[in-house]
Structure 1
Amino acid sequence: MPNDDSQAAGGMQQRPAPARAQGGALAGIRVIDLTQFEAGTSCTQALAWLGAEVIKVEEPNRGEQGRRASADRPDADSYYFMVLNANKRSVTCNLKSEKGCELLRRLIGKGDVFIENFAPGAIERLGFGWEEVRRINPRIIYAQVKGFAEDGPYGNYPAFDMIAQATGGVMSITGEPDGRPLKPGVTLGDTGAGLHLALGILAAIIQRSRTGEGQRVTVAMQEAMVNYCRIAFAAQLISGRTPQRYGNQSMIGANAPSEAYPCAPGGPNDYCFIYTSRAGEHQWERLLKVIGREDLKADPRFADPHARYRNHVALDAIIAEWTRKHDKHTVMRLMGDAGVPAGAVLDCGELVNDPHLRRREVFVEVDHPVRGRFVIPGWPVKMSASHVPVVAPPVLGADTEAVYGELLGLSADEIAALRAEKAI
């Protein structure tokens, strides 16, 4: 997410380069990463997991602000930072120092992508706006994520995830019909905007292969949220009315059942979501067979999807009477085996310990030099010819010597002198 810190990077520890598969889809692509918090870091982590070399450029003393956000101990980077920065390299660079700025210019000259998500105007004040970076490297893909479009009425406003969700339509359609707008538990505004930006960067890389030229790629978090609300806008076109909050019901058409039904033993997440398609009666009839209520086929209250929606309160009570007798996993299995769409409400603890998801590397155990071994979410995109192992995020400045020495050709003495001058 955009932030109010105009610096970018520094540190002292060294480590080998992160493991990157030789056949990684983005092998050979180098990303100069000045992102902080979540929106930008989600984008660069996705690129790293696709095989790009991501060099995270950080302020020398503190690093990016996410390292200390929600920290539980003073001697270690936060887990918030950890889950957003795997597979990256970290170098330090003081952008308040002219020598530090010169180092960044040299990195830009070696890069394919430059990405930042500082507060509006911050990167320009540092001297690394689009025109300047393009002058240094005409082939660079210059990527930015901000809260709002720079040419709009809110262009200078700071933003975080929930601001984007509020202003992009998401909160207006989330919640119970008679309740207040709610922010969804997932950080759509941040990670959602970051993944939109990653898609734009990939397209720009492909276009550059034809034209030889770089370009600027921008995503406004507000506008990314609008894109997530397309079905709501379809509902608006159908009805001519602004979509309201519908709880767990579909907003684009009357449908029932469509609800999270309570299951045994009655814990906070002991629910299973059951849904049947409006496209025909086959899923509805299968559901009735599973719950032993085929007599309801003849009930006029439930004769068709519209009738079921009008009487969904009564229908929900009937289904809930059955689901309460079973645990959520049994409900999902019985419904799924019968061809009825159903999903147990799985909490984060259940997911992280799921052996199937572990096998697929949706969750991966990493080994960190300070935190030790712990589990983080991995990359959900699986490619038959590109596999990049997930490795722990870097401690601050872990790759300073390696990157400046190998990539920029600086000697150990030159690097030591830059440290003494606080340029890194």
Structure 2
Amino acid sequence: MKALEGVKILDFTHVQSGPTCTQLLAWFGADVIKVERPGVGDATRQQLVDVPGADSLYFTMLNHNKRSIELNSKNETGKEVLTRLIETCDVMVENFAPGALDRMGFTWERIQEINPKMILASVKGFGPGNYEDCKVYENVAQCAGGAASTTGFRDGPPLVTGAQIGDSGTGLHLALGIVTALYQAQRSGQGQKVLAPMQDGVINLCRVKLRDQQRLKAGPLKEYSQYGEGIEFGEATPRAGNDSGGGQPGRILKCKGWEDDPNAYTYFITQAAVWEKICDLIGEPEWKTKEGYATPPERLDKLNEIFTRIEDWTKTKTKFEVMDICNPLGIPVGPILSTKEIIEDDGLRKTGTIVEVDHPKRGKYVSVGCPIKLSGSPVEVTRSPLLGEHTVEILREVLGYDGEALAKVVESGAVGDVNKQAAE
């Protein structure tokens, strides 16, 4: 049995934040019914297209294990179908612009009338307040959530990260909220609204930087490189380059081949517990007891010298050789893996973190699999649905339409060109 088997999700999401959430729920066994505009579908189907005539990777990699129904919610018959979907499903997930559901005639009060146990889960850019009606995208969320101001080097501009912490990060937060609300509904019999603002999600992921903001009141942040360089701190948490944020000094260092390979680097942490082993490794055994080097506080103003010396050693080894040598010694290091190396990693494929999926129109492609592993609910990643592929199936099996009633819905134009779908 799958963990969420029997749970029906009405998926009114598009682009990335919402689909990330519903895909995760689908991987855990929920029946996710993706509602899409007839003839158009999720906008990402046609964004960044690499195979003409096929759904883009942007869409396919965010919509595995779902079923698709085309539905015009502005059509009267479409409203009837949507009402029955709300009656039948356990959760409705949406990431429309603020007020869109209300304009469709499905306010929270109306949804509760239709199904008192319904959980309405929403992604919005900002929570209630001055900016709640503002439209937000990934990088805007990173900037408003504190990530950009604390990312990059001290003498450079703020930077956004390649990790989609605004979109996908918020989707993960929303998924947790939904599962929690489902658990409560089992005991209370009542649904509720679940809100995951993108700004809030980014702030949660940046909590250590808010920690450091408060620590500034007590004095300089000694684990930041600028302390050892004698540079004063300002009023806000500064950008710290590649310094470790956990109190143990760490940096990204060049490895063998860095001149030609932009990812020939390793992350190296000078953990206090293995300092003596590091000294032996890099050929500086006297640093183990030398005044100014023996203890972590003494080393803070010498981190540039220390990491330069360590880098002299790492540049003689590949990033994987650094791993092979340091791991048995307990020295924390990690290779800078490129996206190509990650896709080709046998270990990640074995665990299902990287999967290969076959699609009827684009052929085989590589995607990210479920990042969370449950021993009692294994995940099989299935391809994303074609637009409206399951329209008739959902109308019949989920909503009970058949015969004349089904024909009426099809003829109304509320569910796209069903006959063409059937012919294909």
- TM norm structure 1: 0.90
Which residue in 1 is equivalent to 2:361? 370
**Alignment root-mean-square deviation, CA:** 1.4
Deviation at 1:309, TM superposition (A): 2.4
Indicate which of 46, 65, 68 corresponds to 1:68: 46
Identity across aligned pairs (percent)? 41
- The corresponding residue for 1:162 is 139
The equivalences for 1:20-419 within 5 A come to 23-149=1-127, 151-240=128-217, 241-251=235-245, 253=247, 255-256=248-249, 258-266=250-258, 267-277=261-271, 281-411=272-402, 414-419=405-410
Letter in 1 for 2:268: I
**Structure 2 gap segments, 5+ residues each:** 218-234, 416-424
Decide which moves more: 202-211 or 242-251: 242-251
Tell me how far apart the structure 2 counterparts of residues 165 and 136 of structure 1 sit (CA, whole Å). 37
Map Cα deviations across residues 23-59 of structure 1 (whole Å, 9 max, x no partner): 1100111000000001111110111111111000100
1:36 partner SS? coil
CA distance in 1, matches of 2:403, 2:41: 22
Instruction: Give SS of 2:358's match.
Output: strand
Could you say what secondary structure the match of 1:300 adopts?
A: coil
Residue 388 of structure 1 and its aligned partner are, at CA, apart by 2.5
Are the counterparts in 2 of residues 243 and 251 from structure 1 also a CA contact under 8 Å? Answer: no
| Equivalent position amino acid for 2:32 in 1 | V
Aligned-residue offset at 1:116: 0.2
Contact 1:235 1:252 in 2 (8 A): no
Q: SS in structure 2 opposite 1:189?
A: coil
Distance 1:395 1:89 in 2: 9
| Preserved CA contact (<8 Å) 1:90 1:400 | yes
Indicate conservation of the 8 Å contact 2:125/2:134, yes or no: yes
Q: Which amino acid aligns with 2:388?
A: G
In structure 2, C-alpha distance between the alignment counterparts of 1:57 and 1:319, rounded to whole Å: 55
Contact 1:234 1:252 in 2 (8 A): no
- Higher mean Cα deviation, 242-251 or 57-66? 242-251
Q: TM-score, normalised by structure 2?
A: 0.90
CA contact (8 A) 1:88 1:394 kept: yes
Give the partner amino acid of 2:287. Answer: L
Deviation at 1:365, TM superposition (A): 1.2
Counterpart CA distance in 2 for 1:308 and 1:415 is 75
Query: CA–CA distance in 2 between the matches of 1:299 and 1:412?
Result: 88
Amino acid aligned to 1:179: G
Tell me the residue number matched to 2:230.
none
CA–CA distance in structure 1, aligned partners of residues 297 and 155 of structure 2: 22
**Alpha-carbon distance, 1:252 to partner:** 5.9
